[in-house]
A and B are shown apart, each in its own frame.
Chain A
Amino acid sequence: MKAIVWTGRNSVEVQNVPDPAMLNARDAIVRVTSTAICGSDLHLVDGYIPTVKKGDILGHEFMGEVVEVGPGVRNLRPGDRVVVPFPIACGACFACEAELYSLCENSNPNAGMAEKLMGHSPAGIFGYSHMLGGYPGGQAEYVRVPFADVGPIKIEDDLPDDKVLFLSDIFPTGFMGAEMCDIKPGQTIAIWGAGPVGQLAAASAFLLGADRVIVIDRFPYRLKRAQRTGAEVLDYEEVNVLDALRDMTGGRGPDACIDAVGMEAHHPTPAMYAYDRGKQAARLETERPYALREAIMACRNGGVVSVIGVYGGFIDKFPMGTVMNRSLTLRAGQCHVQRYMRPLLDRIRAGEIDPSFVISHRMPLSEAPRGFELFKNKQDDCNKVVLMT
């Protein structure tokens, strides 16, 4: 089968690889119909997530048709149309019972590796490094889906792929980012990053009752898309974000701040950017946490900072004094997608939201390397690439 394979820093290729085979009784094989490139895939491609190996198949946002199920899968049958959540979860452990699916205690066969870096291991994730399981990803014609009786959600009506594909990751991720803000009527939510996750977080914040949403980025085409959700926008290369947010919120700051940027943020001041960029290149820190630092500084006293941007390791100059003295609540996590799929599918079906508004490019799977180029370099106003097989 054809698959998108990581072949080194900044290099992905379409390769022919063996078809997947069953490894566990609760596996299913899914023929992928649509898959997408995620912003977090760029962290892998750029080489900032440890334990990615040459030959790894990328991709964790995908849906398709079940072609084979193992003897332990009773709720799916060949021919079923499913969206697959990106975290792999067993459904039976302490974490899964608490609906913390991205922390499943059983789905990472390489938990020992993750423990060394993070203390304890989170769940395995499709196509997201060996530390997180060594599972082949969904940017391929076929994927083995472990614990297929727990994760995948059946799409039984004729909703097109475009509308439901993002239930696999970015819609629940954006939604959880907003949910972690504990939004109350009248509140203002600021979101760093106007990529697809930031846009969906903005839309979700409104769904959850936010009064105002302010999205911060530097690419006009992304800010324009964010504006379509009803959000106000700030270009951090044009204005001082802290001052602007203060002005917009009566001097108090946003009630909650969402970091939808993660480890490869940018800074408008070259010297500041060079400082963390240099340290990251020298592997003295793994992140460039400008967005997170700013979100913490901007948040109102006693507010919530919700982190859904991906981080991999260690941060320098973390404003802990601000978090502590101003009673901020820091919440974070890889999305517990399984928890949100059903309710968000219902919202899509009810017409409350159509997450396909983020899509800017559609192309065949075989053109994925071009898709990565466009997405990474923000060419052609690239916002979200969907690959079709």
Chain B
Amino acid sequence: MTDRFARALGWTSLALGTAQLAAPRAVTRLCGVDDAPGAKTITRLVGGRELLHGALLLGGKTPAQWTWTRMAGDAMDLGLLGKAAAARTGFRRRRALFAFGAVAGIAALDATCAGLRTRKARSPLQVRASITINKPRAEVYRFWRDLENLPTFMTHLESVRTLGGGRSRWRAKGPVVDLEWEAEIIDERAGDLIAWRSVPGRGVRNAGLVSFTDGPAGRGTVVDVSLEYGMRGRKLAAAVARMLGEHPEQQVRDDLRRFKQVMETGEVVRSEGSPEGHRALRQLHQHPAQPIGARA
């Protein structure tokens, strides 16, 4: 929704920029500044800036994040038009004021869009992934339910220790210090699903749900995972993920691939190019495909 809004603003930028570059004279007249020397040059420059906004807003996957560039532009335009209006009288002043009003209106729209975007950014980070594993549901469920198994395929986890009563202590590798938190299982249906969340007030806020369903025609098990990181958790998770060169979503997908390998083949599959197995960062910085030798 926010992105559609932002794209509409992008089209406005494109139209305005094109007009300013193609017919700068008409634009200066419309704004009542056709009497100023250099007004055409400034109009052209502003037009170029608008085209840049348009490109950012229409070219990107998440255009809303670029709305702030338009707000900076709006501030500049309001300054210029305000000055122009103050220095003029008569019909030119009226035109400058009219243009000022129009830009102010657009600025309000930009601010709304940027505001929507900020509110969205503050909501918890949600990550989902799923995979099909060629093993019976009960077996797949059992392996995951023993939370102490998780670090065998979730490589960012150092350890998970079960404490009894559905509680467990999780330890993850952090960029500087290790992160620790306590989690509790909040819902559990044998063979179907496990839901957990971090115990409030202790470290990284996060929650997760993993569900197990029979694959089509009873072939294997579909595993769906969704994770949610709270505000602090989100920042931490994103920071950790970035330090490891991974997007949280990629991390979960890689985790599931390793989970599948462990269930189907008994262990995480390694190659000389990716000695640790699936890992997004390693896919960017491959070891050459030759034996690693003493460095292994």
Contact = CB atoms under 8 A, between A and B. Distances in A.
A113 B250 CA distance: 11
Given A53-B288, A134-B289, 11 more contacts: A20-B291, A26-B265, A55-B289, A93-B134, A106-B265, A110-B278, A111-B278, A134-B273, A134-B287, A136-B290, A136-B291
Contact of B275 (A5, A23, A124, A130): A23
A110 B290 contact: no
Contacts of A72: 266
Contact of B260 (A55, A105, A137, A144): A105
Contacts of B269: 24, 90, 106-107, 109, 146
Interface in A174-192: none
Interface string A96-115: 01000000011101111100
B185 interface: no
Contacts of A144: 272, 291
B296 A17 contact: no
Contacts of B293: 17-19, 21
Main secondary structure of the interface of A (DSSP, over half): loop
Given A93-B134, A94-B220, A109 B271 contact: yes
A254 interface: no
B280 A112 contact: yes
Interface in B266-296: 266-267, 269-275, 277-278, 280, 283, 286-294, 296
Contacts of B260: 93, 105-106
Contacts of A18: 290-294
A252 interface: no
Nearest to B135: A92
Nearest to A124: B271
4 A-B pairs with the lowest CB-CB distances in the bound complex, closest first: A134-B273, A18-B293, A55-B288, A109-B274
Contact of B286 (A20, A26, A57, A130): A130
B261 to A, nearest CB: 5
A137 B267 CA distance: 22
Contact of A130 (B270, B273, B296): B273
Q: In which size bucket is the chain B interface?
A: 35 or more
B264 A134 contact: no
18 contacts: A17-B293, A21-B291, A21-B292, A21-B296, A24-B269, A51-B286, A54-B288, A90-B269, A93-B134, A94-B134, A94-B219, A109-B269, A111-B257, A112-B283, A130-B274, A130-B283, A134-B273, A136-B289
Interface of A: 3, 5, 17-21, 23-26, 51, 53-57, 72, 90, 92-94, 97, 105-107, 109-113, 124, 127, 130, 133-137, 144, 146-147
Contacts of A111: 257, 278
Contacts of B110: none
Contacts of A112: 250, 253-254, 278, 280, 283
A376 to B, nearest CB: 21
B4 to A, nearest CB: 26
B12 interface: no
A92 B292 contact: no
A24 B291 contact: no
A90 B268 CA distance: 12
Contacts of A21: 291-293, 296
A55 B277 CA distance: 19
A107 to B, nearest CB: 6
A23 to B, nearest CB: 4
A51 to B, nearest CB: 8
